[in-house]
Structure 1
Amino acid sequence: MNQTKPATAPAMEPKDVQRIIIGLMAVLLLAALDQTIVSTALPTIGRELGDVQHLPWMVTAYLLSSTVVTPLYGKLADIIGRRTTLLMAIGIFLFGSLLCSLSPNMYVLIAARAVQGLGGGGLMSLVQTVISDIVTAKERGRIQGVFAAVFTASSLGGPILGGVLSEHLGWQSIFWVNLPVGAVALWIVSRGLMKLPRYERPHRIDWLGAVLMAAAAIILLLAINTRGAAVMGVPLWAVYIVSAAFWGLFALRLRTAAEPLIPTGILKDGVIVRAILVSTLSMGALMSVSAYNPLYVQLIYHMGATQAGMVMTPLALGVVGGSILSGQMMARGKGTGYKLMPMIGLFAGAVIYAGMAVIGDRLNLWAYIGGLFFANAAVGSTFPVATVVVQNAVERHEMGTATGVMNFFRSLGGALLVAVFGAILFGELYALFGGSFNGALSADALSRVSDPARIYKPIFTGAAVSMGLAFLALWSMQERPLRSREMPVSKAAEEATGETLSDADFS
């Protein structure tokens, strides 16, 4: 594989690397907070704007726009550079936040959330791409683990902050708060990334392919997030067929385009495909159990909604712990052996979820929390490994594209698995209640179920199957040695992080 040589850039000092890392953490704070801070403010927003009916579209609009632009940001980062693309994403996100805070009604707010998502969709993958430019693959897992901790801590604090701000300062404040944080991120990133090595090459964006992919993803996400049998009057089964047709056209475009949106070399690389599968399947298991866990705790352990929400905190900490530990092991290894911990974790997670499906209701609360803590840690252990493996498998000028594609399919696949597990759960409820079930999932609605644990067995069973399949994908994935001679800024990164980057190339 020919190594791409970076374009000429000013020499980086340790303080430059430190500044970049701080700036990236601020960007990550924006991305994490926005995904959770809105949730607790939704009732207040619906009440004050006098429109509760369209409230779910606030979440859906952001989800749709942020998901479909993720691979486009990766491609742009490989064409015009990381700094310009990241500044553009932050700028669009802040502009969308400003529009949200000034929205006079629900329709304008939904449109503003879509604009916000157009920027937010690039934040996470671009942060991961910039990290790949300043830290070697071997050391990258350590940094990814720390960033995962920042992301999770922000996610946990988001609902609390959203509730406090919306109650005391008005719902607009949950969007105003993005502006000072974003301004700091813009300033640090703008200055720090001037010295970032540049690996971009002239590329063309396949706009037809981008439109086909966006249409396929948007239609699929609309179907996934629809409660009912139709989307805007169109039967749900027909919507899925239309989405499948667009995916087929997108696949055909990948084969025929002179320069496809996703390079075929990425899609043909077995290591990349398996790493994306591992990330998607484990994320799907995590999202599915997390989505329905608060209600399960209310039904089985007779807790209130607030107490059930607090149970999520140690589970999120499990993800952080697994991610950090896995990243540390990658950094301490010699570029190999990084599959061992996530393989053990995925196997153990599959066993834990299978046990929950069989005897979950017989466990006391602490045993239940402990089991899910370790299962979540198993999921967390896959995050740095999957990201670094994908980046390690491509050339420098395709790093942004590969990272964006991984995040795109992980988000889309995770949402799809949640929808599949949810459909199975709702099928159980309709079988129990028949026509009397109105589709509302609440503790009061399900209090009539004599054996509530039974209706949740498909969720835990599905999670076990997902983790098992992720284990098989990781087990069959070739363990390529992680590159350690790739960074012209390795010495600066070594001094900035206090870690030894052995055999680094300082040329």
Structure 2
Amino acid sequence: MPLSSLRLRLLVISLLSVSFLGALDHTVVSTSLATIAGELGALTLMSWVVVGYTLASTVLLPVLGKLGDVLGARRIFLGSLVMFLAASLACGFAMDMTWLIAARVLQGMSSAGLQLMSQTIIARVTTQRERPRYMAIIGAAFPIAILVGPVLGGAITDYWGWQWVFWINLPVGAAALGLALIAVPHLEPGPMPRHFDVAGAAAFTGALVALVLAVTWAAELTAGPATGAALAVSIAGFIAFIHIERRAPEPIVPLTFFANRTIAAGTALSAIIGVGLFSITAYLPTYFQMAYQTTATVSGLVPIATVFGMLISNLLTGWLASRTGRYRIFPILGTSMGAAGLFVMAVLPGGLPLWAPMVVMAVVGMGTGAFMSLIVAVVQGAAPPSQTGTITATINLVRQVGSTVATAVIGGVIGSGVAGLLPAGLDASTLTPQLVHGAAPAIQASVAQIYTTVFAPIFIALAVTYAVGIVAAVLLPQGHLSEEPVPAPHAPSESFSA
């Protein structure tokens, strides 16, 4: 559905604003968590402010993708935006932690709709050739939110109060809503399904909730019977989900998608982004505070360099792919850069100036950005137009699940590895950077070596993950992005294109 140049620009501004709000809401809360927990008097529930948001935004992806195809992306997008604003208002008025967690769950649900429908709408109004450029612009919301979110959240909490971390969404969101009502076109929905896949949605939701609970509890080192039971429920749920999807007349995740090589390879590449980079970013500041003896402020420079590299590369490759119509070279180069950079991180000797790992991780970020948004655009072009929302949800889902599971696994490896190597007299549960920096030089050197030893195999494992991504990228079919307009979803042609 072609749009005028002016309306397309307004649409991109609207979608970028809303995508940034959704992405920022996930990062801006991190620096205010301690204040929120202290004022609401529920420190033990603090992690659920984040977990509830993440869980809700993950489990609803396939359902929202299907609803976007059936009811129309515009309806789901506008409904999600209204719900997001209402949930933001409720978060700021929270009187206790239970109220806040419930409101954050609603925020997570609506944020999933905003992110997913933004990508779906772009796919529906652009040609395959135009799509990478606009998808890169929308995708820039995530790295920008990572860069500014923690600082903005801290400043708002210190000067306005933590409630404004949520209320700041209201004026920006209201303006974006007004613009969206004008700019987002009425997109023709697909045919109404005769049978909505309720059983598949229920099985998937139950399995994914159990999985997130299992990895969260394991990462908190509270593994026990409940963790094992949650993992068993998750495995059984995913087995049931696959069984249901294979027989459902209109599944929420059509498994036939993966017979298409572009979709299969693109889905693998999306998962690798979550597992290979997003999972380690949260632990980099701790690593540099302990292994390089930096302050908390200075340690944040490495993730910033990583994300900045990701942002630049994401925009550049989106522009190049739209300009040339070629796309396969970018994931091949990107995964190669990621694998090489993470391997270098594993073998970097101690005592180097901080700029050395900053440069290396910037290369990893650039490699990831080279195909982060591009692969979504490519996979969308390989699916029938009537299932654009469904395939967009699938590729986002594997990335988010990969990130969640890998983050928990890495956290567990770091916790147990450090605890097992610490010399007598040091307790892992009370070990802080401040304590180490104030200790004798011999203790500092010992702790630095321990963290280097523990992180080296983690970096190698992530480098191997990117190496698998090289294989997936090579398996992408040779293709050229089409300049033909995307047909309406009810069009009779259901053929795949690369």
Return the TM-score normalized by structure 2.
Answer: 0.90
Match in the other structure for 1:476: 475
The 8 Å contact of residues 77 and 117 in structure 2, kept in 1 or not, is answered as: yes
Q: 1:312 aligns with which of 297, 303, 316?
A: 303
Does residue 202 in structure 1 map to residue 192 in structure 2? yes
Q: Which amino acid aligns with 1:200?
A: G
What is the rounded CA distance, in whole Å, between the counterparts of 1:445 and 1:432 in structure 2? 17
Give, as a single letter, the amino acid of the residue that structure 1 aligns with 2:64.
Y
Render the CA deviation track for 1:383-408: whole Å, top value 9, x for unaligned.
12210121010111100110011111
Q: How does 1:405-484 map to 2 (within 5 A)?
A: 405-433=394-422, 437-439=427-429, 442-443=432-433, 449=447, 451=449, 452-484=451-483
Aligned to 1:393: 382
> Given that residues 3 and 125 in structure 2 are in contact (C-alpha distance below 8 angstroms), is that contact kept between their aligned partners in structure 1?
no
1:301 aligns with 2:292: yes
Question: Which residue in the other structure is 1:373 paired with?
Answer: 362
Q: Distance in 2 between matches of 1:289 and 1:165?
A: 27
Deviating beyond 6 angstroms after TM superposition, the runs of 4 or more aligned structure 1 residues are none
Matches within 5 A, 1:235-314: 235-314=226-305
Give yes or no for contact 1:339–1:385 (8 Å, CA) kept in 2. no
Could you tell which deviates more after superposition, 263-272 or 293-302?
A: 263-272
CA apart distance, 1:258: 1.8
Note the C-alpha offset of 1:228.
Answer: 4.2
Q: Deviations over 1:24-62 (max 9, x none)?
A: 111112112101110111111112112212111111110
> Is 1:168 aligned with 2:159?
yes
Percent identity, aligned pairs only, is 31
Cα gap change, 1:258/1:369 in structure 2, threshold over 3 Å: closer, same or farther? same
Aligned counterpart for 2:88 among listed residues 85, 97, 111: 97
What amino acid maps onto 1:400 in structure 2? G
One-letter code of the match for 1:406?
I
Distance (whole Å) between structure 1 residues aligned to residue 236 and residue 423 of structure 2: 33
Q: Which runs of 5+ in 1 are unaligned?
A: 1-5, 490-507
Could you tell me which residue of structure 1 aligns to residue 20 of structure 2?
A: 29
Which amino acid is the alignment partner of residue 157 of structure 1? V
Query: Which 10-residue stretch deviates more, 356-365 or 41-50?
Result: 356-365
Deviates further, 355-364 or 64-73? 355-364
1:442–1:267 distance in 2 versus 1, CA, 3 Å: farther
CA distance in 1, matches of 2:339, 2:431: 26
Cα separation, partners in 2 of 1:350 and 1:440, compared to 1, 3 Å:
farther
CA separation in 2, counterparts of 1:416 and 1:162?
26
CA distance in 1, matches of 2:401, 2:435: 30
Q: Aligned pair count?
A: 476
- Contact 1:298 1:304 (8 Å CA) reproduced: yes
CA contact (8 A) 1:343 1:475 kept: yes
Instruction: Determine if the alignment matches structure 1 residue 344 to structure 2 residue 343.
Output: no
Q: What amino acid is the match of 2:136?
A: G
* Structure 1 residue 430: Cα displacement: 3.6
Name the SS of the counterpart of 1:361 in structure 2.
coil
Letter paired with 2:281: S
User: Closer, same or farther in 2 for the Cα pair 1:437/1:382, shift >3 Å?
Assistant: farther
Distance 1:440 1:146, change over 3 A: farther
Distance in 1 separating the partners of 2:25 and 2:228: 32
Contact 2:291 2:447 in 1 (8 A): no
Taking the aligned partners of 1:223 and 1:95, their CA distance within structure 2 comes to 30
SS of residue in 2 equivalent to 1:258: coil
Structure 2: which 5+ residue stretches go unaligned?
437-443, 489-498
Which residue does the alignment assign to 2:492? none
CA distance in structure 2 between the partners assigned to 1:218 and 1:343 by the alignment? 34
Between 394-403 and 338-347, report the one with greater CA deviation.
338-347
Give the whole-Å Cα distance in 1 for the aligned partners of 2:314 and 2:394.
21
Q: Please state if 1:135 is matched with 2:134.
A: no
> Which stretch shows the higher mean deviation, 462-471 or 268-277?
268-277
How has the CA–CA distance of structure 1 residues 186 and 478 changed in structure 2, closer, same or farther, with 3 Å as cutoff? same
CA–CA separation in structure 1 for the residues paired with 2:18 and 2:242: 33
